[in-house]
Structure 1
């Protein structure tokens, strides 16, 4: 599908989703000047609730950039939804299969074409009981280092008051009155800033490189969240894998 067709479909969907979102959330943001004026980039955000893809994409879209998410491949097989995802240029993620590399290649191709890829490094809604960013996966770091593009850290706070999921998975919905939602966009992290001290940027990062870069990204996101919350972030991040192993 051509980019023109994708943009047209995106605008139609945005024209539907944004007014509905604004009925339940009063959003404001700062820092859109940190989106690169040219070239591809990754937006890495914290994940509070199932509705925050709109929160994260909204300021990117309003800045004149058509954002794309990495989405689970299974969603592309859902009737109607799969068609929509494909027609707005979302990138399918084939987890745990031999096609996983295809997802990476497609995302990097989009970045090299000047696109913006939105990523939740945590991989899912945070399980931290206090809703701080938790331990993350290395996907955002891999896209940045292998694609040699910057990462723009983005934090948001408030949309969990519209739809909240507790650590046990129970959801609470509170639509009215509209909730205050704030977004803070940080300065872009260049690939060289994600490398360990003394190491040169490379598009073939090692596991240690990816882990270090992920820590840098999550530290920056967590710092932005702390600013929005007006609180000091915990010294260590919640690790859901450690919780499972100890249970």
Structure 2
């Protein structure tokens, strides 16, 4: 039943792509294994990244199981869908158990998707990565494949109104598996470098350039906040969320 649900979701998504007239370009499919486990590490610039981040895996006839925050599983609409598609719930208060579930999936030969930045990048660049992706891939002895999305932030992201205009260009670039040496910090640095390189190419080759756009990183001439500015905003957001939680618990 779960695969039937997953297939139905994919069909609906593809209808949506066509209805919006989106120009989706996917490159690097040769880097994805056709069989066996693999961990796909995707950058995070939009609320819809899990849809587009799974496209290259779907293109080779496989189904990614994405690691996603618990709130999506608790939601009355998205929760049943996430569970039916056998995505992996991530409880931030118990991250190790989530890693264990991901490992089990990988050892069964599944493709697992992960957002190693953990949260959306307001800077539209690759943020500091968590070491979980490198640790999981090394423990499962599977390829760690970097994937970068560009253009999805124009649809739906933090601090900006959604925009479902027709004809939007979406770029999906798949890179070569990152060499793993068993050192989580070093492996994570190599993953960051690989994702940053893919993103640089995606930005420079994007078919709909717009100088000074809000969705373009500052160092490319856009008006998105720098990584440092975005980090300060993220910290303030976390503090406000913690204060609300403490107030609710009191």
Alignment TM class, shorter chain as reference: 0.7 to 0.9
CA deviations 1:157-216 (Å, max 9, x no partner) are 112222243xxxx22222222201111111112xxx222xxxxx4xxxxxxx22221111
Q: Are the equivalent residues in 2 in contact too, given 1:223–1:233 (CA < 8 A)?
A: no
Provide the residue aligned with 1:11 in structure 2. 7
Q: Where does structure 2 lack aligned partners over 5 or more consecutive residues? A: 206-216, 220-225, 237-250
Instruction: Give, in angstroms, the shift of residue 233 of structure 1.
Output: 11
CA deviations 1:114-149 (Å, max 9, x no partner) are 111111111111022xx1111111121111111111
Residue among 210, 219, 222 paired with 2:196: 222
Residue among 159, 168, 175 paired with 1:186: 175
- Is 2:128 the partner of 1:139? no
Q: Rate the CA distance shift 1:174–1:88 in 2: closer, same or farther, 3 A.
A: same
**In structure 2, how many angstroms separate the alpha carbons of the residues matched to 1:89 and 1:152?**
20
**In structure 1, how many angstroms separate the alpha carbons of the residues matched to 2:125 and 2:10?**
28
TM-score normalised per structure 1: 0.80
**In structure 1, how many angstroms separate the alpha carbons of the residues matched to 2:174 and 2:23?**
17
Provide the residue aligned with 1:238 in structure 2. 227
Query: Between Structure 1 and Structure 2, how many residues are aligned?
Result: 217
Provide the residue aligned with 2:148 in structure 1. 155
Q: Are the equivalent residues in 2 in contact too, given 1:150–1:188 (CA < 8 A)?
A: yes
Q: Rate the CA distance shift 1:77–1:122 in 2: closer, same or farther, 3 A.
A: same
Find the residue that maps to 2:227 and give its secondary structure: coil
**In structure 2, how many angstroms separate the alpha carbons of the residues matched to 1:211 and 1:233?**
27
Provide the residue aligned with 1:205 in structure 2. none
Q: Are the equivalent residues in 1 in contact too, given 2:34–2:60 (CA < 8 A)?
A: no
Q: Rate the CA distance shift 1:142–1:22 in 2: closer, same or farther, 3 A.
A: farther
TM-score normalised per structure 2: 0.79
Which stretches of structure 1, 4 residues or longer, exceed 6 Å deviation after superposition?
A: 231-234
**In structure 2, how many angstroms separate the alpha carbons of the residues matched to 1:63 and 1:224?**
20
Q: Are the equivalent residues in 2 in contact too, given 1:163–1:173 (CA < 8 A)?
A: yes
Q: Where does structure 1 lack aligned partners over 5 or more consecutive residues? A: 196-200, 202-208
